[in-house]
Amino acid sequence: MKRREFLKTAGVGLAASTVAAPAIAQSMPEIKWRMPTSFPKSLDTLHGGAETLAKAVREATDNKFQIQVFAAGEIVPPFQVVDAVQNNTVECCFTAAYYFIGKDMTFALPCSAPFSLNSRMQNAWQYNHGGIALMNEFFKKYNMIGFPAGNTGCQMGGWFRKPIRELADLKGLKFRMGGFAGRVLGKLGVVAQQIPGGEIYSALEKGTMDGAEWVGPYDDEKLGLYKVARFYHYPGWWEGGTQVHFFVNLERWNALPAAYKAVLQSAAAHTNVWVQAKYDAENPVALKRLVAAGAVLTPFPQTVMEACLKAANEVYAEESAKNPEFKKVWDNMVAFRNDLYQWWQVAEYSYDSFMIRTRPRG
Amino acid sequence: MKRREFLKTAGVGLAASTVAAPAIAQSMPEIKWRMPTSFPKSLDTLHGGAETLAKAVREATDNKFQIQVFAAGEIVPPFQVVDAVQNNTVECCFTAAYYFIGKDMTFALPCSAPFSLNSRMQNAWQYNHGGIALMNEFFKKYNMIGFPAGNTGCQMGGWFRKPIRELADLKGLKFRMGGFAGRVLGKLGVVAQQIPGGEIYSALEKGTMDGAEWVGPYDDEKLGLYKVARFYHYPGWWEGGTQVHFFVNLERWNALPAAYKAVLQSAAAHTNVWVQAKYDAENPVALKRLVAAGAVLTPFPQTVMEACLKAANEVYAEESAKNPEFKKVWDNMVAFRNDLYQWWQVAEYSYDSFMIRTRPRG
């Protein structure tokens, strides 16, 4: 350190040692929170996001604010983490909001819904089109406040024992899938079932299931599904850019000093970009390994995609007719989506098109 | 220190003197930094990113760590902010690294270079493929450490008085553009010139320039270029996902308490997602206004794009042959790009393709 700087900082330090401690003590209290996630530890992208968030908070507060992370089921079952936050059993959680559409379909929209926003559009909507505030009006009913904290990017359509060649192939198909998209596919004859990740492999092997969707190459590889259902369909039109959330109990949030609120928000945003970056860095190499191991990349036929879009729009209309809160959020989101894709196709998409077309030449 | 402030802090200090004061004083000192940007205040996306970063830091530290933001030229000329950080004239700056390719072409790579990574890929490379660490080995020579702190997404190709229909139209074209891409276009007969943003309009109006590139719809609209050069070409193949940086003088960085280092890193990442989100939210509506005002959206012909790619690859090869540091970073990046686009075309691109094709039906 240069002498002049040393003198300057030393002076500051001296003055500081006699001052400002109680304000600091008040503004930087020691806090310990517990954060269950809805993900197993093996998902080092999603569960890893929770660890990244906790680390950022811990380090930014000089270890004063400690958030202990628990994997799915360690202290709270994976699909009850929102209830635990709502009831103040835990202070916060890390999850995908669409796991909670049983309470209200609106939970799907800031997370992922069929033919909705891609990853960057979801961020644009959340941070700069009032999405965070709009959703927090809704989350308030569940005694929570929430912030975007990760994104998977567009997911894959899943693993199928036989390829989907035409619409008729969907009739009677037993497919592992939950929630919103299950309702859409139900209109087209699919028998959608929700079974835990750990049971998918044997269900496909035995033939009690015809197909199953999970996430994308990096996460899917761990389940080994390519060994029992080798047709890997794309795109996952029900998950164009699935965003995960960091939820905090509202009373706990309100009791925090302002500095800690700011630390949590930046840590969540940091985690948001980190999770997407990790998926984007890991998926390409995982995809290569999967294809080398026998996975057969198979696009959904456009006729099937069109039928799914039509069915999805029916579900959106049905839900909007009976759920004003859902309608309010979806109307806002779909108008934004339509504007955004109009711009997207100009620079972003034509750039990607050219890069994809010329890639084989390096 | 002002008397009132002194009294305030002194009083506070008295009460706290029995609790943990020295540790706290050490970990949360009062710090004031100055951060010049390379952008005018009117660019509320890029200059606004600097304000967002400073706010996040201030709030997360209970106003203890204050970063004062200065627009281009207020205290440091826009293209000398890196020198000012290197020389410790200021503690940090907010800029686009490619403004400094006069020092070394390697500066372009973590920012934007022709036919390189798109926005999400740039993040994936930085946060999860060792990019941040790799670049900081390089920035060390300039006595700085840097972090990604924003992205414009894919930019537009700029405004032209006459449309580019074929390769021959580039010959002798006087085009406002700097640096790396100027060198590429020079191989195709373009006379690339760097002139300040404020002079572009009159140069196009008088016809002393034939075209000019700036950023994208939202920023371009402010310059009013559509009035004097209405052909709006795309995509900006030299800026597929331009990332901006937050640079800190290395001695200042090393002298920071660990908590402040963590605060700065999360604030930069927060700003990174915020800037991209703002561009993505603002560009679509700006584009509509521009088209309504007479801008003519015009894709670059594929033959022209192909010729530019070939010329760019020549420049990459020339620079790599004489600059080992550039070669090291570019080889790493281009291998990553090729893998990433192989995956990108599967889920992400086919999803966007379908959404763009069906958008007119809402």
Among B126, B250, B346, which would you mutate to test the A interface (most chain A Cβ atoms within 10 Å of its Cβ)?
B346
B117-144: buried (b, 16+ CB within 10 Å) or exposed (e) per residue? bbbbbbbbbbbbbebbebbeebbeebbb
SS3 state at B160: strand
Determine the Cα–Cα distance for residues B55 and A90; give it in Å rounded to an integer. Answer: 30
Among B16, B20, B355, beta carbon nearest to A115: B355
H runs (alpha helix) in B256-301: 258-292
Q: Which residues of chain A have a CB within 8 Å of the CB of B129?
A: 281
Are B341 and A352 an interchain contact pair (Cβ–Cβ within 8 Å)? yes
Determine the Cα–Cα distance for residues A195 and A176; give it in Å rounded to an integer. Answer: 7
Q: What is the CA radius of gyration of chain B?
A: 22
| Tokens coding B171 | 């010959």
| Tokens coding B288 | 């509509």
Least confident of A95-104, B7-16, B17-26, B97-106: B7-16
Determine the Cα–Cα distance for residues B167 and B173; give it in Å rounded to an integer. Answer: 11
Q: What is the DSSP letter of A301?
A: P
**CA-based angle B109:B112:B117, to the nearest 5?**
85
Q: Is A14 at the interface with chain B, CB within 8 A?
A: no
In the predicted model, what is the mean pLDDT of chain B?
92
> pLDDT band at A5, cuts 50/70/90?
very low
Q: Are A263 and B262 in contact (CB under 8 A)?
A: no
pLDDT digits (tens, 9 = 90+) for B292-337: 999 999 999 999 999 999 999 999 999 999 999 999 999 999 999 9
Are A351 and B302 an interchain contact pair (Cβ–Cβ within 8 Å)? no
Q: Are B228 and B293 in contact (CB under 8 A)?
A: no
Assess if CATH 3.40.190.10 describes domain A155-238+294-324. yes
Are B263 and A350 an interchain contact pair (Cβ–Cβ within 8 Å)? no
pLDDT digits (tens, 9 = 90+) for A14-64: 333 333 344 444 668 999 999 999 999 999 999 999 999 999 999 999 999
Among B115, B269, B347, beta carbon nearest to A270: B269
Determine the Cα–Cα distance for residues B189 and B208; give it in Å rounded to an integer. Answer: 17
Q: Which residues of chain B have a CB within 8 Å of the CB of A342?
A: 284, 287-288, 359
Q: With pLDDT > 90 as the criterion, what percentage of chain A qualifies?
A: 88
Rounded to 10 degrees, the C-alpha dihedral B314/B315/B316/B318 comes to 90
Determine the Cα–Cα distance for residues A137 and B18; give it in Å rounded to an integer. Answer: 43
The more confident residue out of A2 and A88 is: A88
What average pLDDT does this structure show over A163-177?
A: 96
Strand boundaries in chain B, DSSP class E: 31-36, 65-70, 92-95, 144-151, 158-160, 174-176, 191-193, 211-212, 231-234, 243-249, 296-299
| Residues forming beta bridges with residue A174, ordered by sequence position | A191
| Tokens coding B283 | 């560009």
Determine the Cα–Cα distance for residues A219 and A216; give it in Å rounded to an integer. Answer: 6
DSSP string, B173-230: -EEE--HHHHHHHHTTT-EEE---HHHHHHHHHHTS-SEE--S-HHHHHHHTGGGT--
Q: Which of residues 153-182 of A touch B (CB under 8 A)?
A: 153-156
Fold equal for B30-154+241-281 and B155-238+294-324: yes
Q: Which of residues 85-144 of A touch B (CB under 8 A)?
A: 115, 118-121, 123-129
Are A351 and B235 an interchain contact pair (Cβ–Cβ within 8 Å)? yes
Q: Is B304 at the interface with chain A, CB within 8 A?
A: no
Are B359 and A342 an interchain contact pair (Cβ–Cβ within 8 Å)? yes
Global pTM value: 0.92
Cis peptide before A235 (omega within 30 of 0): yes
Determine the Cα–Cα distance for residues B121 and B118; give it in Å rounded to an integer. Answer: 5
Determine the Cα–Cα distance for residues A275 and A46; give it in Å rounded to an integer. Answer: 7
Q: Is B30 at the interface with chain A, CB within 8 A?
A: yes
Cis peptide before A284 (omega within 30 of 0): no
Among A236, A259, A350, beta carbon nearest to B234: A350
| Tokens coding A257 | 């000093």
> What CATH number has the domain spanning B30-154+241-281?
3.40.190.170
In the predicted model, what is the mean pLDDT of chain A?
92
Of B307, B277, B343, nearest to B115 by C-alpha is B307
What average pLDDT does this structure show over B138-150?
A: 98
Q: Which of residues 194-253 of A touch B (CB under 8 A)?
A: 216-217, 234-237, 240
The pLDDT of residue B18:
35
> pLDDT band at B8, cuts 50/70/90?
very low
pLDDT digits (tens, 9 = 90+) for A110-161: 999 999 999 999 999 999 999 999 999 999 999 999 999 999 999 999 999 9
pLDDT at B7 over 80: no
| Tokens coding A217 | 């190459």
Return the domain boundaries, chain A.
30-154+241-281, 155-238+294-324
A to B CB pairs, distance under 8 Å = 317
What count of other Cβ atoms lies within 10 Å of the Cβ of residue A8? 12
The pLDDT of residue B362:
62
Direct distance between the N- and C-terminal alpha carbons of chain A, in angstroms, rounded to an integer: 47
Phi, psi of B301 (to 5 degrees): -60, 145
Q: Which residues of chain B have a CB within 8 Å of the CB of A261?
A: 59
Are B343 and A240 an interchain contact pair (Cβ–Cβ within 8 Å)? no
Determine the Cα–Cα distance for residues B71 and B93; give it in Å rounded to an integer. Answer: 10
Q: Nearest-CA distance from A169 to chain B in Å? A: 21
Instruction: Indicate the length of chain B as a whole number.
Output: 362
